[in-house]
Structure 1
Amino acid sequence: MSKPLQRREKLRADLILAAERIIAERGLSGLKTRDLAREIGCANGAVYNLVADMDELILRVGSRTLRRLDEALSAAESAGAPLPQETLVRIALAYCDFAAENLQLWRALFEHRMEADKVVPDWSVDDQMRLFRHIYQPLVSLFPKRGPEELEITARSLFSAVHGMVALGLEQKLVAVPLPALRKEIAGLVRAMIDGLIAPAGQNRAAAGS
């Protein structure tokens, strides 16, 4: 790689790291081109020689956040007995803990909105969808007779329920919930949802035997 290309790649990496630091400190609304340019030592306009636009930059930061979240969820999977229900509980709690520890970067994943005529690039979609394997695999063990589409819907529903509790629980307003209490409620929610999904099958078997 030529020296100009090496310099550009270094500046691009510095830009993404600078954006990550700013979002972590000030939130997504605090991300300004002039601050980024000052951080990496270039002119304002030069920022857009390194990324196509602010959308790409935010998505690049988001990919870094998702990779760290992926690592946290992987660690939670292997942190206890491989019982699918308890694995799902550990994953949900790891998600809550990650959000609490990386609040502004986590919020940015959901606050960022692209213009209606712009398409989220495939690499960003792949980064997002890859995380669902942590939920999907335990569900396969719990519900071996369900097809992929049904399992995917269940995985999304479970994620939505946990995400909603985390988002409301960490809201820094009247609805905020202390983290230990939030973790307890999330664990209870996941267990109740799984018990509720398993129960109909058991009830059907009992009815058939009566």
Structure 2
Amino acid sequence: MSKALERREKLRSDLILAAEGMIADRGLSGLKTRDLARQIGCANGAVYNLVEDMDELILRVGSRTLHRLDEALSAAERAGAPSPQETLVRIAIAYCDFAAENLQLWRALFEHRMEADKVVPGWSIDDQMQLFRHIHQPLAALFPKRSPEQLGITARSLFSAVHGMVALGLEQKLVAVPLPALREEISGLVRAMIDGLIARAM
């Protein structure tokens, strides 16, 4: 690799890390090109020689966040559980804890909106969909007769329920729920949903 390419890759990496830090500190709305350029030591316009646009930059930061979330969910799985149902509970709690510990970066995953005519790149979609395996695998153990398509719908439904509780519970408003109570409520929700699905399958 030439020196010029090495410098560009270094600047690109610095830009993504700077954007990650800025979002973590200020939230997505606090991400400013001018501040990023100043932080990494380049001209304002040079930022767009490193990434296509702000959408790509935000998605690159999101990819890093998703990879760290993947690691947190994998660690919850490796901790071991007596049943697939309890594995799902541990994954849900790990998701809640990750969101609480990385609040602004986690929020940015869902707050970011691309323009209607722009397509989300395949690598970003892959990063998102990869996480569903953590839910899909224990569901497959619980419901071996279900098709992959049916399991996928159930996985998304379960995620949506947990995500909704986390999103509302971590709101810094009147609807906020103390984290220990939120963990308990999420555990109860996941167990109740799985018990209900098992009962329906009988």
In structure 1, the residue corresponding to 2:156 is in which secondary structure? helix
Write the mapping of 1:91-106 to structure 2, written as runs, cut at 5 A. Answer: 91-106=91-106
What displacement does 1:201 show? 2.9
Q: 1:83 is matched with which residue?
A: 83
2:22 pairs with 1:8: no
Q: 1:125 is matched with which residue?
A: 125
What displacement does 1:3 show? 0.1
The gaps in structure 1 that reach 5 residues or longer are 203-210
Q: 2:108 is matched with which residue?
A: 108
CA distance in 2 between partners of 1:43 and 1:201 (Å): 61
Q: 2:21 is matched with which residue?
A: 21
What displacement does 1:81 show? 2.4
Write the mapping of 1:1-210 to structure 2, written as runs, cut at 5 A. Answer: 1-81=1-81, 83-202=83-202
CA distance in 1 between partners of 2:76 and 2:153 (Å): 22
What displacement does 1:198 show? 0.3
Q: Cα–Cα, structure 1 residues 82 and 125, in superposed 2: closer, same or farther, change >3 Å?
A: farther
User: TM (normalized to structure 1)?
Assistant: 0.95
What displacement does 1:177 show? 0.2
Cα deviation 1:36-58 (Å, max 9, x = unaligned): 00010000000000000000000
CA distance in 2 between partners of 1:152 and 1:81 (Å): 22
| Bigger Rg, structure 1 or 2 | 1
In structure 1, the residue corresponding to 2:146 is in which secondary structure? coil
CA distance in 2 between partners of 1:200 and 1:30 (Å): 47
In structure 1, the residue corresponding to 2:136 is in which secondary structure? helix
CA distance in 1 between partners of 2:10 and 2:186 (Å): 41
RMSD between aligned residues: 0.6
Cα deviation 1:50-87 (Å, max 9, x = unaligned): 00000000000000000000000000011122510000
User: TM (normalized to structure 2)?
Assistant: 0.99
Structure 1 segments of 4 or more deviating over 6 A? none
CA distance in 2 between partners of 1:120 and 1:2 (Å): 31
The gaps in structure 2 that reach 5 residues or longer are none
Q: Cα–Cα, structure 1 residues 37 and 138, in superposed 2: closer, same or farther, change >3 Å?
A: same
Bigger mean CA offset, 75-84 vs 44-53: 75-84
Name the aligned partner's letter for residue 167 of structure 2. A
In structure 2, the residue corresponding to 1:185 is in which secondary structure? helix
CA distance in 1 between partners of 2:129 and 2:26 (Å): 27
